[in-house]
Structures are given as C-alpha cells and as structure tokens.
Amino acid sequence: MVKKQPGWALPDLKEAQKRSHHQTVIEKALFAIPPHIQMIGQGKKYYLRTYGCQANERDSETLAGILESMQFTPCSEPSEADVILLNTCAIRKNAEDKVLGELGSLKRLKSDKPDLIFAVCGCMAQEEEIVTLLLEKYRHVQLIFGTHNIHRLPELLYEVMSEGKRVVEVLSKEGEVIENLPVRRFGKHKAWVNIMYGCDKFCTYCIVPYTRGKERSRAMEDILDEVRILKEEGYKEVTLLGQNVNSYGKDAGIVGGFASLLEETAKIGIERIRFTTSHPWDFTDEMIDVIARYDNIMPFIHLPVQSGDSEILKIMGRRYTREQYLTLFHKIKERMPNCAISTDIIVGFPNESEEQFENTLSLVDECQFDNAFTFIYSPREGTPAARMADNVSLEVKQHRLARLNERWNQYAKLKNDAYLGKTVRVLVDGASKKNDQIMSGYTETNKLVNFVAKDAKAGDIVTVKITGCKTFSLDGEQCE
Ligand code: 5AD
Ligand code: SF4
C-alpha cells in the first residue's frame, strides 16, 4: 500500500456521483502561469499521447498550449522527451489496458534518463481503482491529475520538477468553465470547439458522468467568438463538441438551446459545421429544422442507439424505446433524405438474450446506417450495470459482435454504392497515407474519399466525381 502524502487529492467516486445545484461560473481569468514557472520548459521537450474521444483530443490541444506557454517544445518520439504525458480514456477496459501497456513499455526510458517525468491525466486519472494501481505498481508515474484541473498543470509540473515529489491532484467535483486557457490546435483546416462539458444522463453502463462531471455549458457568445476567430484564421470546418450536444444550455438556462446555437454558428458563415454527440432523447424538431435549412451545417448526424431492444434500452437508462428511436430516425430522413446517420451499438449488455440481440440486428436492417461503432459491453467500476449479474458468456458476446459487424458493413457498402458516378464536395485533408499522388478528404456526409487530384491542396473544398465504392471509403477523380 502506498501511503497518502500530504497535499494529494485522490479521486472519490461517491463525490463524483453527486450533482451540485449551483449554476456554473464562467471564469475568464483563472489561468495564469506564475512568473517563476514561465520558463521551466526551456530546452526541454514533451511527448503527448491522446487516447479516446474528441473531448480528449481537444483537451490535449489545451495541454499542448499550456506546455508550450511554459517553453516546452513538442517531440514525436517518447525517447526524445523530458516529459511524457498520457491523456487517457476510461470508456472500456481495453482503452485502459492500452495505456497501462504503454506505461509499462515506456518505463525503460527512465533508466537512461532518470529525470524523465511520466504524467497521466484524463478520464483514467478520475478512477479510484486506477489511481491506486498507478501509485502502487507504476512507481515511475510522478504526476497524476484529472479532467477538472488541467489549468493547474504549470504548478503541478513545477512541484514535480523542483522537488522531485510524486504529485496527485484529482478533483472529483467538476470545476467552473475556464475561458482563458491557451490552445495549440493540431489541425490547420478543421477545429474542435467545446460547447459544453460533462454529462448528466447516467446511462447505467457509462463511466463518463463520473469522470467528466456534471453538464456545464459555455456561454453562447464565447462559443460564437471562438468560431468567428477560427473562420478569420482560415479554418474551413468546426465540430461542436459535447457528450450530449442537444442538452446544450439547459444547465445555464440559455434560451433556444442547441438549435439556437447551431443557427447562430451557421450565420457566421464558416464553410462546414459538424457536431457530436447527439442523444436521441432530446433531439428536437427545431434542431432538425435548423440542420435542414443551413447549407453549411453538414447533413451528417451521429445518433447512438446502443440497442434495438426496448427492454435493454430501459435497463441501460437510455430514456427512449426502439419505436421512439425509429420515429426520430425516419423524421430526420424524411426532412433530409440525403442526411447520413451513424450510430454506436453495445452488444452483450448483462443478460442480453438472443432475441433481444436480434432486435438490434433488425433495427440495423431498418435504419441501414452509413457507419457504426460497435462494442462489447465492458463493466465499469461504480456504474449500476457493473453490479448486475450477467449470464452471457464472452464467447457469445464476441460472436454477436461479429454478426453485428457483418450486418452493418453490408449496409455501409450499399450506402457507399449509391455514390457511384455522383459528384461530391470534399474538404481535402492532404495526401493519402498510402500514395502521395492521391489526396483524401471527407464529403459533406462524412464519407472518406481518396481521389486523383488535379490542383487540390489541403484545406481546399473541391468537386470530386466518384468512380469506385468500398465499405469504408470512396474513390474518385477531381473535376475541372
Ligand atoms: N462498454 C461498452 N461500450 C461502452 N460505451 C460507453 N460505455 C461503454 C461500456 N461500458 C460506448 C457507447 C458510447 C460510446 C462512446 O462508447 O456506445 O456511445
Ligand atoms: Fe455516457 Fe450516456 Fe452520457 Fe453518452 S449520454 S456520455 S453514453 S452517460
């Protein structure tokens, strides 16, 4: 057992479950690097690796911004680094295993470079069980901090560097919304824009409400200002981010909620607007209407269903039935026939019967999703589902996942086949990884296209004629 040191703040699951009723305070000047810390990264390099979702990607842009404000420079090889920072994900056990494996294999670097600092942050740092494991078995990890106190990185890192101490600061109660954090965007043409933090849905399998705290919306003007600046800087696409974007504004009483925010963002005139993730429960007609009315809001919606069986949905705490999901799905398709829809599905939820699983397959048959992210249920400590007895073997779960993947892949291919001979608008990301004569980018409906370019360069939006269709991508040729 590692003894708790004075000054450590360890994660507390019970505390993380609570929801305070006070309205979120927007802090515009909370972040400042004290003068004695401003240069501590001079001549030093950091290696930052991100696991998990877009919220983590966006947090990493802030972490990079903070480290660079302290004069650290980035490097792409862990062996060159003075600080190795892993921004972690806790959504499923295999995400955690990846991080633990990486920490294990990178440990050897410490013997060549004793001053090397290992730091762990993100969702895994919010878990009691994981922090105990890191403290006891991963003794080379010197700094652990959570999702609510990224702004404290300068002071925490300084403590580790100047005193050689192990530092743990994980807050289990969400903080305020901080508006003045530095950011180093990783993309030049596409940007992530947080619109809210946390989640209050408490689906029974999900750890996110515990690791990311209660829902807190940013002020609409702050979001719109960020988008305006991005447009001025030449960005072509923004993705509005939240665990649950359609709840935007409810915590703060923002009039019009997400539909209004989307509309105001569209009026700024940036070329492409995307958003993720939408919960089917509070997806309103106004939102569908705004998406349909503005050409610069992309006709693509990620709409996780999780299961096609109403009984399982109820035990998952998803707040809708199979029929309600289908009604929403068809309403979207009726209003926007060209809208692509993708989904998330969990198989092998505790006690899922063969018949219940087949209901998921038949829902996939009815919806014919453009894309799907499919997972085997993974019990997460502290969630209600983790306490449920489960009579489904891993073998059965794996077989169901394979059957589900085969099914949705057929429809993904069918959807892609419909593009043959059509022309589409593609925002170019750059040369394809496999062949630099070929450029790649995404259609408005979020289809990956590899195409023979004429004069297209990264950041352009070009017209491409589709000449070939695969399950996960399209091939094409740039038009005149
Ligand atoms: N096990 C498996 N998949 C999960 N997801 C969330 N929690 C779990 C879990 N415990 C999936 C859901 C969610 C996506 C981001 O991850 O499908 O939509
Ligand atoms: Fe998890 Fe449900 Fe919140 Fe999504 S809506 S983050 S699945 S609790």
- The pLDDT tens digits of the residues spanning 261-299 come to 999 999 999 999 999 999 999 999 999 999 999 999 999
Determine the distance separating the centroid of ligand 2 and the alpha carbon of 199, expressed in angstroms: 6
Closest CA to 48 of 32, 62, 31, 36: 62
pLDDT tier for residue 21 given thresholds of 50, 70 and 90: confident
pLDDT above 80: residue 29: no
Burial string for 201-210 (b: 16+ CB within 10 Å, else e) reads: bebbbbbbbb
Q: How far apart are CA 265 and CA 269, in angstroms?
A: 8
Annotated binding residue 199? yes
Tell me the pTM.
0.96
pLDDT (mean) for 143-162: 96
Q: How far apart are CA 29 and CA 351, in angstroms?
A: 50
Tens of pLDDT, residues 289-305: 999 999 999 999 999 99
**Least confident window among 14-28, 55-69, 237-251:** 14-28
Integer CA distances (angstroms), 17 to 14, 279, 349, 382, 472, in order: 5, 20, 22, 9, 39
CA-derived radius of gyration, the chain: 23
Task: Look up the CATH number of domain 177-417.
Answer: 3.80.30.20
Closest CA to ligand 1's atom 14: 344
Closest CA to 262 of 244, 245, 243: 245
Torsion angles phi and psi, residue 141, rounded to 5:
-80, 115
pLDDT of residue 20: 77
Q: How far apart are CA 54 and CA 255, in angstroms?
A: 26
- Burial category of 112 from C-beta neighbours within 10 Å (exposed 0-12, middle 13-18, buried 19 and up): exposed
User: Which ligand is located closest to the Cα atom of residue 380?
Assistant: 1
The domain spans of the chain are 36-169, 177-417, 423-478
Task: Judge whether 208 and 244 are in contact, CB under 8 Å.
Answer: no
Task: Judge whether 302 and 277 are in contact, CB under 8 Å.
Answer: yes
- Indicate the helix (H) or strand (E) that contains 342: strand 340-347
Residue from 279, 315, 344, 381 whose mutation best tests the ligand 1 pocket (most atoms within 8 A of CB): 344
Neighbours of 458 (CB within 10 A): 15
Closest CA to ligand 1's atom 17: 344
pLDDT (mean) for 438-467: 97
Task: Judge whether 442 and 427 are in contact, CB under 8 Å.
Answer: yes
Closest CA to 223 of 272, 182, 184, 268: 268
Q: How far apart are CA 394 and CA 47, in angstroms?
A: 36
| Closest atom, ligand 2, to C-alpha of 279 | 5
Annotated binding residue 121? no
CATH architecture designation of domain 423-478? Beta Barrel (2.40)
Tens of pLDDT, residues 428-448: 999 987 787 899 999 999 999
Closest CA to ligand 2's atom 2: 203
Question: Average model confidence (pLDDT) for the chain?
Answer: 95
CATH topology of domain 36-169: Rossmann fold (3.40.50)
Q: How far apart are CA 416 and CA 413, in angstroms?
A: 5
Q: Which residues contact 467 (CB under 8 A, 6 or more apart)?
A: 420, 475, 476, 477
Q: How far apart are CA 65 and CA 412, in angstroms?
A: 38
Residue from 56, 199, 205 whose mutation best tests the ligand 1 pocket (most atoms within 8 A of CB): 205
Determine the distance separating the centroid of ligand 2 and the alpha carbon of 171, expressed in angstroms: 20
pLDDT tier for residue 148 given thresholds of 50, 70 and 90: very high
Tens of pLDDT, residues 305-343: 999 999 999 999 999 999 999 999 999 999 999 999 999
Q: How far apart are CA 287 and CA 240, in angstroms?
A: 14
Tens of pLDDT, residues 346-365: 999 999 999 999 999 999 99
Tens of pLDDT, residues 387-421: 999 999 999 999 999 999 999 999 999 999 999 99
pLDDT above 80: residue 480: no
User: pLDDT > 90: what percent of the chain?
Assistant: 90
**Ordered DSSP codes for 125-169:** GG-HHHHHHHHHH-TTEEEEE-SS-GGGHHHHHHHHHHH---EEE
pLDDT of residue 16: 85
Decide the pairing of beta strands 216-217 and 196-197. antiparallel
pLDDT (mean) for 125-140: 96
Closest CA to ligand 1's atom 7: 206
pLDDT above 80: residue 174: no
* First and final C-alpha spacing in the chain: 68
- Collapsing DSSP to helix, strand or coil, 297 comes out as strand
Angle at which helices 354-367 and 322-335 pack, to 10 degrees? 10
Integer CA distances (angstroms), 326 to 134, 310, 330, 400, in order: 44, 11, 6, 22
Tokens of 196: 């809210």
Tens of pLDDT, residues 66-105: 999 999 999 999 999 999 999 999 999 999 999 999 999 9
